[in-house]
Amino acid sequence: MNKHIRWGFYIFLLPVLLWLVLLIVLPHIDLLIMSFRSENDLGELTWGVSNYGEFFNESIYWLTFVRTAAFSLLVTVITLVIGLPVAFYITKIAAVKYKGPLTVLVLLPFWVSELVRVYGWMILLRESGVINHLLLKMGILHTPVEMLYNDATMIMGLVYTTMLFMVVPLISVLDSLDSEMIEAAFDLGANSISTLFKIIIPYATPGIVSGSIVVFMLTLGNYLTPNILGGKNSLWFTEQIYNQFIASFNWNQGSAFGFLLLALSSAIIWAGLKLTKQDLKQVVQ
């Protein structure tokens, strides 16, 4: 019986291993090799770190990355500030019979693709969109206002497209929080703020850290939302990578930029884990 179970485990594990090796490991190894290749003035193939050096030599590249990382951190903080009360209300305040429907309402927008959700915001915010039409009809505006193609709209879109990945870990963590601990804190004279910072947030720290990592990585590597809602004036590092691969057809430079994004984002996450004194194994459990 144990032998059959072991073989069954291997059969189910094989597709996962093939997917990881063929679609993730091998392509990344190939891109890593390409990132160290370049051509000299004579068109000869050379090996070195010149593709990585280009990132630091051209200010537009590293300034764009700093901007992308800063906005990604901002989106993560905003998502946490919005997601924590939502998760707390669903798990601790709402009646038991409403927890399921409320969770479904959180998941519902993510049943459609990101492209459809982003274009939904464009329908609302463009000059001929729903919001401008209502404001003009109510007499609040006399001429349409362009609400798209700015950093504020881009951040709003990124928060909206990543909210689920913050709320779900928080719901799973806060659901196991004993409500009697909160009641005991109030009975002992604690106010809402002290209860939040001394009981709720410390207990929810693993969910906060895991949700923040996922939101930060998804935002940092997002291409669609910044490009559509931010427009040409919104510099995002993934657009630089796209331009190297597609526009310039410089796969060697694009590979280097991709691995720089991976390395620098991993360093930021590592620093965040150290600051919060969290262990990655504890966070992913």
Digit-coded pLDDT (tens) for 246-267: 888 888 999 999 998 888 888 8
Structure tokens at 57: 């030599």
* pTM, rounded to two decimals: 0.87
Q: How confident is the model at residue 146 (pLDDT cuts 50, 70, 90)?
A: confident
Specify the higher pLDDT residue, 12 or 44: 12
How does DSSP classify residue 144? -
Q: How confident is the model at residue 282 (pLDDT cuts 50, 70, 90)?
A: low
Is a pLDDT exceeding 80 seen at residue 154? Answer: yes
Structure tokens at 45: 């193939």
Say what the pLDDT of residue 69 is: 92
Say what the pLDDT of residue 43 is: 66
Average per-residue pLDDT in the chain? Answer: 86
Please spell the DSSP secondary structure of 154-167, one letter per residue: HHHHHHHHHTHHHH
Q: How confident is the model at residue 171 (pLDDT cuts 50, 70, 90)?
A: very high
Sign of dihedral through CA atoms 137, 139, 140, 142? positive
Give the model confidence (pLDDT) of 133-142 as tens digits.
888 888 888 8
φ/ψ of 64, rounded to 5, equals: -65, -40
The region that residue 149 occupies, defined by phi over 0 for left and psi between -120 and 50 for alpha, beta otherwise, is left
Between the two ends of the chain, the Cα-to-Cα distance in Å is: 30
Could you give the CA distance from residue 71 to residue 155 in angstroms, rounded to a whole number? Answer: 7
The answer for residues whose C-beta is within 8 angstroms of residue 139's C-beta and 6 or more apart is: none
Q: Which helix (H) or strand (E) holds 270?
A: helix 251-276
Is a pLDDT exceeding 60 seen at residue 284? Answer: no
